[in-house]
Amino acid sequence: MNRIDAHQHFWNYDPVEYGWIDEPMAALRRDFLPQDLKPLLSQVGFQGCIAVQARQSLEETRWLLSLAKQNDFIRGVVGWVDLRSAQLPDQLRDLTRDPKLVGVRHVVQAEPDDDFMLRADFRRGIAQLAAFGLAYDILVYPRQLRAAVKLVSQFPEQHFVLDHIAKPLIAQGAIEPWNTEIRALAQFPNVMCKVSGMVTEARWTGWQPEDFRPYLDVIFEAFGPERIMIGSDWPVCTVAADYHETIGIVTDYIDGLSTAQQDAILGGNCAAFYRLPE
């Protein structure tokens, strides 16, 4: 079974385009490219990755697809399109000529309206993805989970995956209301979850593996091993942990599961969800 990092990013750093990289994250103010990630994947026994958009532009999507064409280990791209655009069908038709476009994402966590995903124009865009075989990555904070539940309930044929377990307040040890909303979301069988992005929600220095256990317990109880995939969120994770440590948080947690379950979490579920070619 090929092991796949289901969530990571690349960028040529620019202070304007990546203004979200603030002073505490200053170590990220440089380029992160495929040649930087490939040896890290090898070190943990992974063979591939899914590159996820970090900029909200069609240029970003096309750039990631060009990287994927040049690097076979980039198994798929989760890009960005304006789901509210009248040109969406034409844009999707054009972009999906490249089979490595496997999904799209909008940075909903940055939207001031917690119900952004429920707007009619956004939902019209979501309604068009399934026809093109595209998944949708849900990037939200806990306060936006309620809207996510309403969204997925309206599109039972659309494949969704929750990024970063919805970024609970791990540093504060807060479980509710995140726990309740996660379990509500997991009731929908068309939703999967990436165990990714956790280390940057913990204390960046001095975190311990047990800090994540209560949150992983909830995710595994709610979704089950068959709907969970591992992701690093590299290079963002490096502000709090190196790549090996980040992956190890999950691999250590699942050590007691069956080989088949571990294989699913470490690559099989990702390949099936994003419909990656063999």
Does 256 fall in a domain?
yes
Q: Is 127 among the domain residues?
A: yes
Q: Is residue 25 part of a domain?
A: yes
* 168: in domain: yes
Instruction: Provide the token pair at 116.
Output: 């952004």
pLDDT tens profile 115-161: 999 999 999 999 999 999 999 999 999 999 999 999 999 999 999 99
Chain mean pLDDT for the chain: 97
User: CB 107: neighbour CB atoms within 10 A?
Assistant: 14
Note the Cα 107 to chain centre separation in Å: 11
Which pLDDT value is given to residue 277? Answer: 83
Task: Determine, yes or no, domain membership for 278.
Answer: no
- The residue range of the domain holding 170 is 4-273
Number of domains the chain contains: 1
Strands (E) in the chain, as ranges, are: 4-8, 48-52, 74-79, 101-106, 135-138, 160-162, 191-195, 228-230
Q: Over the stretch 253-274, which tens digit does the pLDDT of each residue have? A: 999 999 999 999 999 999 999 9
CA distance 170 to 266: 23
Q: Supply the pLDDT for residue 1.
A: 73
The CATH number of residue 142's host domain is 3.20.20.140
Coil/strand/helix, residue 170: helix
Q: Is the dihedral of CA 183, 184, 189, 193 positive or negative?
A: negative
Encode pLDDT of 2-46 as tens digits.
999 999 999 999 999 999 899 999 999 999 999 999 999 999 999
